[in-house]
Amino acid sequence: MPRASTLDQAYKLLDPRPLNFELQGPPQGDQASSDPGFYIDPPAQKKGNRNLPSPVETIRQRLLTGTHDTKMFLCGHVGSGKSTELNRLAAHEEIGSEFSVVMLSFEDQEWATLDSSQVLFRIAGAIHAKFKSLLQKKDDAELNKALRQLNDKLFEVTGLRATEGSIGIEFDLLVIKVKQELKLSDKARRLFRDFGESQQTLLQDVLRTMVEAVENALAETEAPARLLVLADDMDKVRGAEQQKEMFDKNLAALLTPPLRIVYTLPTGVYFGENRADVRQNVVYLYPVRVLNKAPHTFDPEKAYNGDRIGFFEAMVRHRADEDLIAVEAIRLAALYAGGVLRDFFHLLREGIRLARYNKLDVLDEELMRYAIEDARLRDSAGLYAPDYEALAFVHQNNDLRTQEDRRYLDTSRVLECYNGSVWFETSPLLWHLLGERASHA
């Protein structure tokens, strides 16, 4: 496992991208920061003197003991480490011995227009792509019929189809074509949305038939015969209407597929009183606690909780030599990131960038504070008076005024915290600005 001995190397290894637990051999180039050897267990959750299972351990237990159609949702603040935890779950020995795991990640260009029909289509595509050679050997007539019907309907509505006469072989090509069209064309997105609303049953039938065909084929091999899909990046769905379409209006579409699925969930989504059954299947990955409630101050350093700072120090020392980044710089980055891992790495990298510009060999406290000032300017962009009023309420009450204010969770302006009970806090980067506005009120 490589460790940085210079700030140039540290900048690369402190990249916040998810860790990859399927790397074969020593990671090279851009993969270096994804070395699974960098993983450190998050601080344990406790209730009194008892340890509680981590969110992903809870999911693992539910998958192993649940029924074939178990659906779980991993909810967490943007950048809280959900992708790394899903990757680690996929590589867990017991999960690998019980399930054939299919990883599905939605690409950047899909986030803004993703809907429930696209999710079903992409799940089917991911399963087919992984097990295409196995399906070709079995040549399942029912599956080929369902795929051909889907192919014909898609062509009828959108003009897209797989290669004529070879749908069973070319379904993954059709998925690629659809993804490209949805990326480039508003018209294609409208057509596919209309198609999904009118052909939801057909999509479900294709997915059901494909799962049956794959699991029957796997039963004749040494691989686990039960499928598990881990659908990552669905937490990037941030528009209120888009979230309502996927997680309210068409939630049943995500719950119906006849296999185990773990979805990531935007932290701004809250399943209401009528969906208590779904809420039982949601687990939360909270930011690492670095803040106490502090409604009477606008100085995050007066709210600092250092009980878990050792976790952040260990993460940095795991990747970089001890003399490269000052302890105080690590503390400040953790504090102003609000305990969010991705923001912590971003702040450290911005501090390193300033240190390199000044031809220094160490990231110290002074440059870390300059990096925090720059981040504060970026984080406040696009905020207006009503936003500041909402964020001031959160800081003063550690609560949200309305359900609509959950949108600030999706934009990282508000953190969902936990210390035995759930509470909310405005991003520490914005406290200073809130204090300035309060002093001029």
Asked whether residue 85 falls in the same domain as residue 107, the answer is yes
Asked whether residue 307 falls in the same domain as residue 377, the answer is yes
- Residue 352's closest CA among 370, 338, 377, 336? 370
Asked whether residue 205 falls in the same domain as residue 135, the answer is yes
b/e code 62-90 from CB counts within 10 Å (16+ = b): bbeeeeeebbbbbbbbbbbbbbbbbbbbb
In a domain, 323, yes or no: yes
In a domain, 32, yes or no: no
Helix or strand (DSSP H, E) at 294? none
End residue of a domain, out of 285, 308, 338? 285
Asked whether residue 303 falls in the same domain as residue 253, the answer is no
Look at residue 1 in the predicted model and tell me its pLDDT: 63
Look at residue 161 in the predicted model and tell me its pLDDT: 58
- Rounded to two decimals, the pTM is 0.90
Asked whether residue 130 falls in the same domain as residue 251, the answer is yes
- The string of pLDDT tens digits covering residues 307-353 is 999 999 999 999 999 999 999 999 999 999 999 999 999 999 999 99
Asked whether residue 82 falls in the same domain as residue 220, the answer is yes
In a domain, 163, yes or no: yes
In a domain, 296, yes or no: yes
- Cite the DSSP H helix spans in 166-303: 167-184, 186-198, 200-218, 240-244, 251-255, 276-279
- The string of pLDDT tens digits covering residues 83-113 is 999 999 999 999 999 999 999 998 877 777 7
Rounded Cα–Cα distance for residues 228 and 102 (Å):
6
Look at residue 221 in the predicted model and tell me its pLDDT: 92
Residue 373, domain extent: 1-25+286-441
DSSP state of 342: H
Asked whether residue 305 falls in the same domain as residue 327, the answer is yes
150 is written with which tokens?
A: 């889907």
| Residues of the chain predicted below pLDDT 50 | none
Look at residue 273 in the predicted model and tell me its pLDDT: 66
Asked whether residue 156 falls in the same domain as residue 220, the answer is yes
Asked whether residue 353 falls in the same domain as residue 276, the answer is no
Look at residue 293 in the predicted model and tell me its pLDDT: 96
Cβ(89)–Cβ(122) under 8 Å?
no
Rounded Cα–Cα distance for residues 147 and 170 (Å):
10
End residue of a domain, out of 224, 252, 285? 285
- Considering its fold, how many domains does the chain have in total? 2
- Residue 89's closest CA among 62, 57, 65? 57
Asked whether residue 157 falls in the same domain as residue 74, the answer is yes
Asked whether residue 246 falls in the same domain as residue 359, the answer is no
Asked whether residue 142 falls in the same domain as residue 229, the answer is yes
